[in-house]
Structure 1
Amino acid sequence: MQSKGGEMKSKTGGKVMDGSNIMELVENEKVFSNFVDHKFQELDRDCDGNLSVKELQPAVADIGAALGLPAQGSSPESDHIYREVLDEFTHGKQEKISKTEFKEVLSDILLGVAAGLKRDPVVILRMDGQDLFEFINSPTFEPEMLSLFSEIELPGGSLQDYIIKAFEKLTVDQGMPPATDPWVANNIVEPVLKSLHIDPQQPVSQEILLAEFKRAAERVAQHLKEQPAIVAHSQNTFDGSGIKRLLSNKFELDKVSDIFLIVY
């Protein structure tokens, strides 16, 4: 089912972003111009009618965050991508850019977003712990978890190490935000495990692991109930390789820049 904004409802109750709302924004000259005016005014801190490299940084940071990149300065590889994005706005120079130039580049990027979402829609899910609670209390919980445990190979790993790996193997279909995501790991999984005071010397057996993991999963579900997490979920796995290839080719970026997902 499609809504007026070009979003579609998924079977799981999430919203499917298929790019049509972004396309409508860019193709409506009046609406898009107003959108650009607002963003430009927000970024133009010195009100001189142009954007300096420094003033463009928040826009570049938004793009990086939407791509799932770590903060600037975290790694040479991600910093290279940030620089490439900035160069698309400044054409590789340190000069200021006008509103017209800003609008042209933003239009290219957003049209690329729309094209990418059309090919690979993203489901926006609000995870409130309900699905995770249902999974924990379902008859399939024990056999599924025992199967996942058998896939984990951590010679010398502690009980907590095994629990973390088990969380990483759960999916959004089971009600778990991706535990491999640094934000989820730092703000949900790690605080929960810390609150459980798991004995690092406790032996790892399937019986103990199942009991302790269930206890941890129940805490995570309760955490999500109190502080729901918003997850952008795609069936395709993003590893960043497409971005680096795309940003290395100016023509490809202009015509096919379908990786960027900007949330303003």
Structure 2
Amino acid sequence: MKITSVVVHALNDSTVAGFVDDTTPFEQCSKECFDELDLNADGVLSKEELRSGFGKLLPGIGYVSQPKEELNGLHDEIFERFDADQNGVVDRGEFKELLREIMLGVARGIGGSPVLVALEHGSLLMRAAQHEQNRG
């Protein structure tokens, strides 16, 4: 069993949206996340690469516990929506838009009141929390 480093942190919508809106750190995060998922280093993400590592980006939202059929449907929807050029893979720009939309959706879901969240090291929400701490 893998032991993961977890930190409890108070987040609200401005923590997450502020991270997305700060272009340079968010683009760096997007690049790092993309590189982690791009297992064959070909500069694009296949459905299999996305499937193998996507849950690590937002742990704790029940992604990995979903039935395989539901996850396959989710991946199909992601590709249908974010594979803008319909070439069967997600490139860096398309991936950045995917992360942006996910993070802004999470921000809307959290709302303006602080919520205590257990954050895993390296997750997108952990990066948003670190971004806020570094700015404050």
Question: What's the counterpart of residue 31 of structure 1?
Answer: 25
Kindly indicate whether the alpha-carbon contact (under 8 Å) linking 2:14 and 2:107 is maintained by their aligned counterparts in 1.
yes
Runs (4+) of structure 1 exceeding 4 A deviation are: 261-264
Q: Residues 19-62 of structure 1, C-alpha deviation per residue, up to 9 Å, x if partnerless? A: 32211111011111111111111111111110011111144333
Aligned-partner Cα distance in 2 for 1:29–1:119: 22
Task: Give 1:43's aligned amino acid.
Answer: L
How far apart are 1:67 and its partner, in Å?
Answer: 1.6
**Equivalent in the alignment of 1:86:** 75
User: What SS class does the counterpart of residue 123 from structure 1 fall into?
Assistant: strand
Q: How has the CA–CA distance of structure 1 residues 87 and 98 changed in structure 2, closer, same or farther, with 3 Å as cutoff? A: same
Structure 2 distance, partners of 1:262, 1:116, is 15
The structure number with the bigger radius of gyration is 1
Gaps of 5+ in 2: 1-7, 127-136
Tell me the residue number matched to 1:108.
101
- Residue 104 of structure 1: how far off its partner (Å): 0.7
Aligned pairs (5 A) from 1:77-156: 79-80=69-70, 82-91=71-80, 95-118=88-111, 121-124=114-117
TM-score by length of 1: 0.36
In structure 2, relative to structure 1, the CA distance for the partners of 1:95 and 1:120 (3 Å cut) is farther
TM-superposition CA deviations, 1:203-235 (whole Å, max 9, x none):
xxxxxxxxxxxxxxxxxxxxxxxxxxx59xxxx
Aligned to 1:57: 51
Residue in structure 2 matched with residue 131 of structure 1 by the alignment: none
- Distance between the aligned counterparts of 2:114 and 2:73, measured in 1? 25
Q: Indicate the SS of the match to 1:16.
A: strand
The DSSP-based 3-state class of the residue aligned with 1:66 is coil
What is the identity percentage for the equivalent residue pairs of Structure 1 and Structure 2? 27
Residue 111 of structure 2 aligns to a residue whose secondary structure is helix
Deviation at 1:263, TM superposition (A): 4.6
- Call closer, same or farther: CA 1:111–1:61 in 2, change over 3 Å: same
What amino acid is the match of 2:79?
T
Structure 1: gaps (5+ residues): 1-13, 125-229, 232-260
Paired with 2:58 and 2:13, the residues of 1 have a C-alpha distance of: 19
**Residue 21 of structure 1 aligns to which amino acid in structure 2?**
T
Following superposition, the deviation at residue 91 of structure 1 comes to 0.9
Greater relative contact order (CA < 8 Å, ≥ 6 in sequence): 2
